[in-house]
């Protein structure tokens, strides 16, 4: 294994993920057509993977890279890596108002999609199969449903190992998606969406499944789905048979939305909902 300190910054920025980050040797771009360098002429409106890094972000990463190299020489790469990860976890807990003494934990992952897979495997209990319900792929991402079904979703893992996309990692996990838009692209009535979700959850529980519903904040078109009123009604109706994963980058649902107007603090609401919150691609500058 090559030492991190032996790798240049551009290599580090596209390492530790899957083939979505890999660069074509001829074009120098990833599968979305973007590279690890700033591109001043571009107007990036997509995800971090499908956009070029900004000039200010690249300058910050360069500064951080120099710091890490110096610390690695002084303390060793393993010690620096552990310390930086611990500091990142503490910062994230602080961002959502969760004291380190509360028992909250932060799991770091190579990508947001990997965290969907991790959450699914964590919520799978040995005594019952798990049913996961996610927002339609056009609003989330083409690989989310596969990850939420406990399956490999890319041909290579972050470690570089070859995988068969769609192959199951473990048994007893199934997934379905719900739509918030009709065939014409218009938003569906929220009550109709809730009826669809409730019917799927009821059928899954009737067949002996525990359920994990992903609350997306926000989707590719700026939606929160399902709506919070739906989430609380589902929790009241099905109790411990249902859990919720908030899919959002330091989501307002975590920091202030879940508790607003409900007579509870945000963190209390999270604990009552047994929610796991994810943060995107925190490895990028490490």
Residue with tokens 């959502």: 96
Environment class of 159 (CB within 10 Å of its CB; exposed 0-12, middle 13-18, buried 19+): exposed
pLDDT tens digit string along 208-250? 999 999 999 888 888 999 998 999 999 999 998 999 988 876 5
Angle at 142 between CA 140 and CA 147, to 5 degrees: 90
Residue with tokens 């890094």: 53
pLDDT of residue 120: 92
**How far apart (Å, rounded) are the C-alpha atoms in residues 154 and 146?**
10
Residue with tokens 């120098």: 28
pLDDT of residue 109: 84
**How far apart (Å, rounded) are the C-alpha atoms in residues 151 and 97?**
33
* DSSP secondary structure code for residue 109 in this structure: -
Task: Quote the pTM value.
Answer: 0.79
Average pLDDT value for residue range 55-82: 92
Nearest to 50 by CA among 149, 142, 172: 142
Give the residue, 164 or 198, on which the prediction is more confident: 198
On whether the CB atoms of residues 192 and 221 are closer than 8 A, the answer is: no
**How far apart (Å, rounded) are the C-alpha atoms in residues 29 and 27?**
5
Who contacts 236 (Cβ-Cβ below 8 Å, separation ≥6)? Answer: none
Give the residue, 197 or 158, on which the prediction is more confident: 197
Nearest to 49 by CA among 139, 136, 112: 112
The dotted CATH code for 107-278 is: 3.40.50
**How far apart (Å, rounded) are the C-alpha atoms in residues 190 and 199?**
14
Who contacts 194 (Cβ-Cβ below 8 Å, separation ≥6)? Answer: 226, 227, 230, 233
Long-range contacts of 70-75 (CB under 8 A, 24+ apart): 72/4, 72/5, 73/5
Can you say how many angstroms the Cα of residue 279 is from the centroid of all Cα atoms in its chain? 6
pLDDT of residue 280: 35
Q: Of 146-150, 157-161, 181-185, which range is least confident?
A: 157-161
pLDDT tens digit string along 80-111? 999 999 998 888 888 777 766 777 788 888 88
Can you say how many angstroms the Cα of residue 11 is from the centroid of all Cα atoms in its chain? 23
Mean pLDDT (the chain, rounded)? 82
Label residue 45 by pLDDT band (50, 70, 90).
low
Average pLDDT value for residue range 62-74: 92
Beta strand extents in the chain (DSSP E only): 130-135, 173-178, 210-217, 224-225, 242-247, 276-278
Label residue 40 by pLDDT band (50, 70, 90).
confident
- The pairing of beta strand 173-178 with beta strand 224-225: unpaired
pLDDT of residue 41: 78
Residue 34 has pLDDT above 80, yes or no: yes
Ordered by start, the domain boundaries in the chain are: 4-75, 107-278
């Amino acid at each position: 294994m090559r030492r991190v300190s032996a790798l240049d910054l551009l290599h580090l920025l596209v390492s530790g993920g899957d083939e979505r980050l890999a660069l074509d040797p001829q074009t120098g771009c990833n599968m979305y057509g973007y590279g690890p360098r700033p591109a001043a002429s571009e107007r990036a409106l997509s995800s971090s993977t499908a956009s070029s890094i900004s000039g200010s972000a690249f300058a910050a990463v360069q500064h951080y890279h120099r710091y890490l190299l110096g610390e690695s020489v002084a303390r060793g790469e393993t010690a620096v890596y552990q310390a930086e990860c611990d500091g990142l976890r503490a910062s994230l807990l602080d961002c959502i108002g969760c004291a380190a003494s509360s028992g909250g934990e932060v799991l770091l992952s190579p990508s947001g999609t990997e965290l969907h897979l991790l959450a699914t495997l964590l919520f799978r209990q040995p005594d019952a199969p798990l049913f996961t319900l996610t927002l339609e792929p056009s609003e989330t991402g083409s690989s989310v449903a596969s990850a939420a079904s406990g399956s490999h979703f890319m041909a290579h893992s972050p470690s570089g190992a070859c995988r068969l996309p769609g192959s199951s990692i473990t048994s007893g996990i199934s997934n379905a998606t719900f739509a918030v838009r009709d065939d014409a692209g218009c938003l569906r009535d929220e009550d109709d969406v809730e009826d669809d979700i409730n019917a799927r959850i009821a059928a899954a529980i009737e067949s002996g499944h525990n359920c994990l519903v992903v609350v997306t904040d926000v989707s590719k078109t700026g939606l929160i789905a399902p709506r919070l009123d739906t989430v609380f009604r589902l929790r009241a109706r099905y109790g411990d048979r249902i859990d919720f994963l908030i899919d959002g980058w330091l989501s307002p649902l975590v920091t202030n939305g879940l508790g607003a107007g409900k007579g509870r603090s945000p963190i209390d609401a999270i604990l009552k909902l047994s929610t796991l919150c994810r943060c995107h691609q925190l490895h990028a500058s490490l």
